[in-house]
Amino acid sequence: MSFLSISDATKSFGANTVVKGFDLAIQKGEFVSFLGPSGCGKTTVLRMIAGFETPTTGKVMIDGRDVTQLAPNKRRIGMVFQSYALFPNMNVFGNIAFGLKVAGLSKTETEDRVQEMLKLIGLEHLAARYPYEMSGGQQQRVALARALAPRPQVLLLDEPLSALDAKIRVSLREEIRDIQRKLGITTVFVTHDQEEAMSISDRMVVMNSGRADQIGSPAEIYNRPSTSFVAGFVGTLNILKAKVTDLAQRQVFVGGKTIVLNERIKSSDSNLLLALRPEALSLTPSARQDVAVEGTVSHVNFMGSVIRIRMDVDGEKIVFDMFNTPHLTPPTIGQRALAHFSSADVFEITA
């Protein structure tokens, strides 16, 4: 039995349907991310869980209880906002204590709990600061502590890292994950950053125009995207043109060679598109790389530990990285080169 479930939820604003038939069941203690471009409906689903939106149809259940019509302040949910949304007229202590005060906790209980929370986020020394006196990262940690202080059943994070600098973004996401693991709290995290979603989640929901395109672990989603949208949105993809040689035997012709695909061919005509992750390609073949395509090197970007190479292959641009070593001579622009890959790493993608 799942702890938090959304079943067949739809949300329309007037004629505009932003969430369509959304189904999701989340286990207790699980960390689930909603990933998708802006306007895909991920925030609307989050706000349905919070109670700020009522689904047009469908149900939201928390811990076996139907909360679809329940007001937000009755749901025992913690939420962290992109803009921090700390109360500007209260200091850190006051902000964290807010939920405890409205819950009617005694003064000593409140103080103890706030101290505990301050310790959890490592900001014990800033209890008297006002929001304007803190950095964005500090404010967002306080917002997290404020959300967690009343011991919510579910924690919702609405793009909590988007307003922060790149460096803080990485360190804070690790901190959030650590705290979540420590408390074992069921968490939903909304983001448009695929790297963030993959690095932090137990499971991801990739959303596209109001629907959940794919739900799965980060590895599943990255390695076996179920739709071309997912494949394109998560990670970088290289596209190769190929021809079907034998539909029944799943044989296609690419790179001067006939290879066998892992899955059934979906394309209805003889042309099809094959997709490859950048890390499946290299200039120097390894033992399992059995196919190669030829192209012209168009860009060589030296990035330190890796070198990013772009090649034109039959009018398609492909990108891949090679690791830097002290003795390596990178290819030169305009040079013809072979990009090697394994036929086992290729998957078909529909346009």
Partner 1 sequence: MKRSIPILPAITAIVAASYFLVPLFATFYFSLKMTRGTLSFASYQSVFQSDEFLATLGYSTLASLAAIVMGAVIIVPTAYWVRLKLPKLRPLVEFISLLPLIIPAVVLVFGYIRLFGSNSYLPMTSTDHGTNLLLVFGYVIMSMPYMYRAVDNGMAAIDISTLTEAAQSLGASRLRTIATVIFPNVRASIIAGSFLTFSISLGEFVLPSLLNRPAFGPYLVQLGQDRAYEPAALAIMSFGFTWGCMVLMQAFANKKPGQGVLPRLPFLSRKERRA
Partner 2 sequence: MTMTPTAVSGEDHAATPGPRLRSTFGWSWLGVVPFFVFAFLFLIGPLLYLILGAFQNSDGAFTFDNIVALGGANIVASFSLSIRLSLLSAAMGAIAGLLLGHAVVLGGLPKWVRNAFMTFSGVASNFAGVPLAFAFIATLGRLGLVTVLLRDLFGINLYAAGFNLFSFFGLALVYLYFQLPLMLLIITPALDGLKSEWREAAEILGATRRQYWQMVGLPVLTPSILGCFLLLFANAFGTLATVYALMGSGFDVVPIVLFQQIRGNVLYNPNLGYALAVGMISIMALTNILYLLLRRRAERWQK
Question: What are the residues binding partner 1 (CB under 8 A)?
Answer: 51-52, 71-72
Residue 50 touches which of partner 1, partner 2, none (Cβ within 5-8 Å per kind): partner 2
Q: What is the DSSP letter of 194?
A: H
Nearest to 80 by CA among 4, 162, 17, 194: 162
Q: And the tokens for 300?
A: 């060589």
DSSP string, 50-77: HTSS--SEEEEEETTEE-TT--GGGS-E
Among 18, 62, 77, 307, contact with partner 2 (rule: CB under 8 A):
77
> Is residue 99 within the footprint of partner 2 (CB under 8 A)?
yes
Q: Is 54 an interacting residue with respect to partner 2 (CB under 8 A)?
A: no
Instruction: Closer to partner 1 by CB, 52 or 87: give it.
Output: 52
In the bound complex, what is the minimum distance in angstroms from residue 71's beta carbon to partner 1? 6
Q: What is the DSSP letter of 343?
A: G
Residues in 119-178 that interact with partner 2 by CB under 8 A: 130-132, 143, 146-147, 150
Taking the least distance from each CB to partner 2, the nearer of 96 and 291 is 96
CB of 143 to partner 2, least distance (A): 8
Residue in 62, 7, 19, 59 with CA at minimum distance from that of residue 186 = 62
Q: Does 190 bind partner 2 (CB under 8 A)?
A: no
Nearest-angstrom CA–CA distance, 218 and 225: 10
Smallest gap from Cβ 73 to partner 1, in A, equals: 9
Tokens coding 66: 């139907």
For the bound state, the minimum distance from the C-beta of residue 198 to partner 1, rounded and expressed in Å, comes to 34
In 3D space, the residue among 326, 272, 321 whose CA is nearest the CA of residue 301 turns out to be 321
Contact between residue 204 and residue 35 where contact means Cβ atoms under 8 Å apart: yes
Nearer Cβ to partner 1 (21/72): 72
103 binds, among partner 2, partner 1, none (CB under 5 to 8 A by kind): partner 2
- Min separation Cβ 133 and partner 2, Å: 9
Choose between 13 and 87: whose C-beta lies nearer to partner 1: 13
# of chain residues touching partner 2 (CB under 8 A):
32
What 3-state DSSP class applies to 119? Answer: helix
Residue 105 binds to partner 2 (criterion: CB under 8 A): no
Q: What is the 3-state secondary structure (H, E, C) of 139-151?
A: HHHHHHHHHHCCC
State how far the Cα of 6 lies from the Cα of 25, in Å rounded to an integer: 6
Closest CA to 179 of 149, 217, 204: 149
- What would the DSSP string read from start to end of 289-329? --EEEEEEEEEEEE-SSEEEEEEEETTEEEEEEEE--TT--
Residue with tokens 């011991």: 151
Name which of partner 2, partner 1, none residue 137 binds, using a CB cut-off of 5 to 8 Å depending on partner kind. none
Min dist CB 158 to partner 1, Å, is: 17
69, 73, 171, 262: which one contacts partner 2 (CB under 8 A)?
73
Select 2 or 83, whichever has its Cβ closest to partner 2: 83
Q: Residues with Cβ < 8 Å from 178, sequence gap 6 or more? A: none
Least distance to partner 1 from the beta carbon of 19, Å? Answer: 17
Residue positions counted in the chain: 351
Q: Which two tokens stand for residue 280?
A: 């499946």
Smaller CB separation from partner 2, 135 or 171: 135
Nearer to partner 2, 77 or 168 (CB): 77
- Residues making contact with partner 2 (CB under 8 A): 50-52, 71-79, 81, 83, 85, 87-91, 98-99, 101-103, 130-132, 143, 146-147, 150
